[in-house]
Chains A and B, each alone.
Chain A
Amino acid sequence: SYVLTQPPSVSVAPGQTARITCGGNNIGSKSVHWYQQKPGQAPVLVVYDDSDRPSGIPERFSGSNSGNTATLTISRVEAGDEADYYCQVWDSSSDHPLVFGTGTKVTVL
């Protein structure tokens, strides 16, 4: 099945930029979505279809996708951004069409 690999953890100082990667074979040809999950809460969609933001999500959250890596970028990081982040892929042509990444814990220093 298709595997999406994320770094287990990313640390960033307030006001700086956090970049979370999601690696997968030719992921650039697929649609990638990103979720934020805080402890004890359900995930929240922060980026969909590589780089679109749902209403209510700050512009500080942005996404890109090319080649074998998709990236979620959080600009001007705030303490409230500390959470787990998951990427997700949808590939209608695959026998395993929907896969989540392994997850990344973002720590705000």
Chain B
Amino acid sequence: QLQLQESGPGLVKPSETLSLTCTVSGGSISSSSYYWGWIRQPPGKGLEWIGSIYYSGSTYYNPSLKSRVTISVDTSKNQFSLKLSSVTAADTAVYYCARQPLAARRAFDIWGQGTMVTVSS
């Protein structure tokens, strides 16, 4: 059974770079059938898509975050990662990673449990 698990610091200082990793278990990130995405949710607010990546490294990003976001994949470790630069308090959120089947028109069908990241000095 496929599982995703987010990991990374829970506290990041303003102006620094937020870095998170999503580890995929129970399946291969190198499957040609899926994209892999990052989504975030500020406390008490709605969902915001950050960006997605294919095992080949092809990416697409939310235009509103694109200038600060880098998503990469490491197929040898079955992981993909998120870097968000120049963070502010507005980036405080629960960050989720999730799988996107191509056959399901980029719906997110399996999610990690999420990890809370707070931006504060």
A binding-site residues for B, Cβ under 8 Å = 1, 31, 33, 35, 37, 42-45, 48-49, 52, 54, 86, 88, 90, 95-103
B54 within 8 A of A: no
Q: List the A side residues contacting B52 at CB < 8 Å.
A: 98
What's the count of A-B pairs with C-beta under 8 Å? 65
B47 with A48: CB separation less than 8 A: no
A42 with B106: CB separation less than 8 A: no
A90 with B47: CB separation less than 8 A: no
Residue-wise interface mask of B (95-107) relative to A, using a CB-CB cutoff of 8 A (1 in contact, 0 not): 0100000001111
Q: For the complex, what is the distance from the CA of A95 to the CA of B63, rounded to whole Å?
A: 7
Q: For the complex, what is the distance from the CA of A46 to the CA of B78, rounded to whole Å?
A: 27
Q: For the complex, what is the distance from the CA of A48 to the CA of B106, rounded to whole Å?
A: 9
Q: For the complex, what is the distance from the CA of A90 to the CA of B52, rounded to whole Å?
A: 12
